[in-house]
């Protein structure tokens, strides 16, 4: 999370009654992509945001903040190729991968502080909002299990033919990567050509994420979020 506490930043404040966002071109360059504040985390607003290339990202002591960074990190499912070491791990079948059996557990695991950061942007308010989206069949978890123990996974939203990845965690070597590779294989079969990864980092790059301009990303959204996938086979094991 970008620290904005020491700077005076003037942002459009969203009305709580309807889901209208400022033009993406008005997003700040520093912090990269900060677009607006306020509003709520209703299912309608969150889905409206993602459809436009916007997502919420804020800490407990901040108002709801909405972002649309430039460039955008994405993975094209047809281009995904697991690394040699990940392919070897997949062949070992060390992990049992499940879909949608422990959504809140995955979110709470992703919310645990990492070594490089003490705070989390996955607040209780965010967990409640995304669990509601999960109950609606919009948000999904992909989980790696060993002997009945959850050891890794990720979650995100599926809208149209786009999967919007949110966060992942790992408690065992490559457990989140195995879950991700399994997800990509499923997404290919189900007719999802694009995964949104939001902001680039070395871990995402190791999974094949590339950066594209915000303009290019929006064009892809315009093409894919209104299209039904080939299958809606999100399932519970």
Residues 194 and 167 in one domain: yes
Residues 116 and 191 in one domain: yes
67-118 pLDDT per residue, tens: 999 999 999 999 999 999 999 999 999 999 999 999 999 999 999 986 555 4
| pLDDT > 90: percent of the chain | 80
Residues 59 and 79 in one domain: no
Give me the mean pLDDT over the 206-235 stretch: 90
Write down which residue in 21, 46, 70 finishes a domain: 70
Number of domains in the chain: 2
pLDDT band at 4 (very low <50, low <70, confident <90, very high): low
Residues 107 and 212 in one domain: yes
DSSP for 60-73, please give it: TTS--EEE--SSEE
Structure tokens at 8: 């005076």
Please report, in angstroms and rounded to a whole number, the separation of the first and last CA atoms in the chain.
34
> What is the CATH number for 17?
3.30.70.3550
Write down which residue in 70, 95, 117 finishes a domain: 70
Write down which residue in 70, 85, 110 finishes a domain: 70
Query: What domain range is 151 assigned to?
Result: 73-224
The model carries a pTM of 0.92
pLDDT band at 7 (very low <50, low <70, confident <90, very high): low
């Amino acid at each position: 999370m970008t620290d904005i506490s020491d700077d005076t930043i003037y942002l459009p404040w969203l009305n709580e009654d309807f889901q209208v966002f400022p033009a993406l071109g008005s997003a700040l360059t520093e912090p990269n992509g900060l677009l607006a504040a306020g509003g709520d985390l209703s299912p309608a607003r969150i889905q409206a945001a993602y459809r436009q290339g916007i997502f919420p990202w804020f800490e407990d002591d901040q108002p709801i903040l909405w972002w649309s960074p430039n460039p955008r990190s994405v993975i094209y499912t047809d281009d995904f190729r697991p690394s040699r070491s990940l392919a070897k791990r997949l062949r070992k079948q060390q992990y049992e991968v499940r879909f949608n059996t422990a959504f809140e557990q995955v979110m709470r695991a992703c919310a645990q502080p990492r070594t490089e950061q003490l705070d989390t942007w996955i607040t209780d308010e965010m967990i409640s909002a995304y669990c509601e989206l999960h109950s609606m069949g919009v948000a999904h978890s992909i989980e790696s299990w060993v002997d009945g123990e959850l050891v890794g996974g990720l979650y995100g939203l599926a809208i149209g033919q786009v999967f919007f990845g949110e966060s992942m965690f790992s408690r065992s070597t490559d457990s989140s990567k195995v879950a991700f590779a399994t997800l990509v294989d499923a997404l290919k079969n189900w007719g999802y050509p694009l995964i949104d990864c939001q902001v680039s980092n070395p871990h995402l790059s190791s999974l094949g994420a590339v950066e594209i301009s915000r303009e290019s990303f929006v064009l892809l959204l315009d093409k894919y979020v209104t299209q039904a996938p080939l299958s809606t086979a999100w399932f519970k094991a």
